[in-house]
Amino acid sequence: MPAASKARRPLYEPRADHCASPVAFAREVLGVSLWSKQEQVLEALAGSTRVAVKSGNGLGKGFSASAAILWFLACHDPAVVLSTAPTFRQVRHVLWREVHRRYRNANYDLGGNLLHTRLEISDTRFALGLSADSDEEFQGFHSPNMFIVVDEAEGVDEEIYEAIEGVMTSENCRLLLIGNPTTMGGSFRKAFYEHRELYSTITISAMESPNVVQGRVVYRGLATRRWVEERESVWGKDNSIFRARVLGEFPDRGEDTLIALSQVEAAAGLATGLAEPAGGAASDDSQGPVVVAVDVARFGSDKSVILRRRGMAVEEVQAFHGLDTMQVARKVAEAIDDWHPDEVLVDEVGIGAGVVDRLRELGHRVHGVNVGMAAKDTKHYSNLRAEGYWTLRQLFADGAIRIPPDNDLIGQIAALRYHFNNLEQLVMEKKDDMRKRGVPSPDKADALMLAFLPGKRKPRFWA
C-alpha cells in the first residue's frame, strides 16, 4: 500500500490475540507473508526472554526483526525498543529500511512519527536505532517493557553486549540476536554454546528456503537454488564460508573444541541443511540395556544430575540444585525403583562417595567411579575422564548416539575443550578453568560421559 493512502487506513488499536502472537500481528496488521523460519523466530519472541538466530545469507532474518520491532512497540505501553548493528550504516540502511517498509505498507496506521532510525509514539513509547560505536549509547534507557535487537550480532563488540546486559533489568525485557555465524568467539557464539540454556536458539539454513526446496521463486528476496549451487561450486560444501553463509552454521570447531556443535545438534534431532552426523542414524535401542549415571554436585551453583540411557539413546536427564548427600541418594534410589536399570554408575569423587555408600546401605547395587583415576589407555589419555570424553567424541562423530533437545546439555557438550600434555596424553579442560572463562560446571555433560564410559571396547584415537 503506498504511503499516500496512509490517511485512509484505520488507526491500529492493540488486540489481545495480536499481542499474544507476533505471527498473527505480522500477518493481519502488517499484511506480510511469512515462511516457516520467520514464523519460528516471532513465535520464540512471544515466549522467550532471549532469542538467538544464526542464519545463512538472504533468508529474511532482518524482515523478521523489523516485524518484531513494530509488534513490540504496538502491543506494549510504555515501551522502549533499541536496535543496533556493528556500524550505523547497517542500522540505518539495513534493519531500519525494513522497519520503514513494514510501517508504511501495513494494513493499519500504526501511529507515531517515523524518522530515519526512530519511531516515536510518545515520550515513553519509542523505537530507536543506535550505533554500536560506544557502550555509552545504551545508557539511560529504562522502561517496564524493553526490547533490544542486535543485527549482524557476530560483529558487535563485547563492550556493547555488556552495556546491553545493563538495560536487561526490566520486568518485561526481551533480547533478539541475529547474524551470520562467522566467528569463533564472542557473545553471539556463546548464545549457542556456553550460554545456550539462556536462549531460545534458531538456525536458518538456505537448504530450508522454500525457493531452494521447490526450485523456483516462492518468496522474493530469499536465497534460491541457483545461488546455493553457485556457492557450493565456488566454496565447496566443507568450506567454513559455505557453512556460515549458506547453512547458517558456525565453523564446526576450534582447534581445542572436543565435539562439533553440528554433531551435537544432529544427535538431538536439531540438524539443518547438510549438518548431519557422519555415520548416519543411531540404531533402534528400544530393547537395549538401561544405564543410570549420576554426577553429584559439589558446591555453589553446580547441580546433581541423574541421567538414564537405553542402549545408545538418552531417555531422561534430571537435574537438582541444593540437595545434600542424603537427598541425592534418595533421588537416585527412587530412580532405581522406577527405571529398574541394568547398571548404575555414580561419580564417587568428593561427596559422591557418600551417595555411593548410602545407596549400598539401602541394598542397591551401584558402581562408584572415580574419573580422576588412570585411564585404561594410559598412553593416550591423562585419566579416565579424558578417555570417557574422547569416547563421547567418537559416538557423536559416528552418529551413534541420541540425546534429548536439552539446551543446557547441548551447550555444555559444545563448550568442552581439551589439550595435550608433555606426555602427548589428552587432557580435558579443568572445571576451574571453565569457570574462569564464564562457563558453568558441565554437570549434565559429565553424567553423559559417565553413562557411556568405555568398557572392554578400546576407544579409537585420532588427533
Is 169 within 8 Å of 163 (Cβ atoms)? no
pLDDT-wise least confident of 205-209, 348-352, 437-441: 437-441
Q: d(Cα 19, Cα 17) in Å, to the nearest integer?
A: 6
Q: What is the pLDDT of residues 388-401, one digit of tens each?
A: 999 999 999 999 99
Residue 420 has pLDDT above 50, yes or no: yes
Instruction: State the average pLDDT over residues 16-39.
Output: 96
3-state secondary structure 31-93: CCCCCHHHHHHHHHHHHCCEEEEEECCCCCHHHHHHHHHHHHHHHCCCEEEEEEECCHHHHHH
**Per residue in 303-332, pLDDT tens?**
999 999 999 999 999 999 889 999 999 999
Alpha carbon 146 to its chain's center = 22
Give the pLDDT score at 457: 40
What mean pLDDT do residues 65-83 have? Answer: 96
Q: Which CATH class is domain 290-451?
A: alpha beta
Identify the top-confidence range among 5-14, 166-175, 339-348, 419-428. 339-348
What cell does 388 get? 570417557
Whether the link from the prior residue into 2 is cis, omega within 30° of 0, is no
Q: What percent of the chain has pLDDT over 90?
A: 71
Domain with CATH 3.30.420.240 in the chain: 290-451
In this prediction, residues 109-133 reach a mean pLDDT of 93
Distance of alpha carbon 109 from alpha carbon 241, whole angstroms? 42
| Phi, psi (rounded to 5 degrees) for 55 | -145, 150
Instruction: Report the alpha-carbon distance of residue 85 to residue 178 in Å, rounded.
Output: 10
**pLDDT value of residue 277:** 37
User: Does residue 3 have a pLDDT over 60?
Assistant: no
CB 86 within 8 A of CB 158: no
State the pLDDT confidence band at 285, using cuts at 50, 70 and 90.
Answer: low
User: Residue 124: phi, psi to the nearest 5?
Assistant: -110, 10
Domain with CATH 3.40.50.300 in the chain: 3-204
Average pLDDT of span 154-171: 91
Structure confidence at residue 237 (pLDDT): 82
Residues 6+ apart with CB under 8 A from 453: 345, 369, 384, 388, 391
Q: Which CATH topology does 3-204 take?
A: Rossmann fold (3.40.50)
The whole-number pLDDT of residue 253 equals: 65
Mean pLDDT of the 150-156 span: 93
Residue 74 is predicted with a pLDDT of: 96
What's the whole-number average pLDDT of the chain?
89
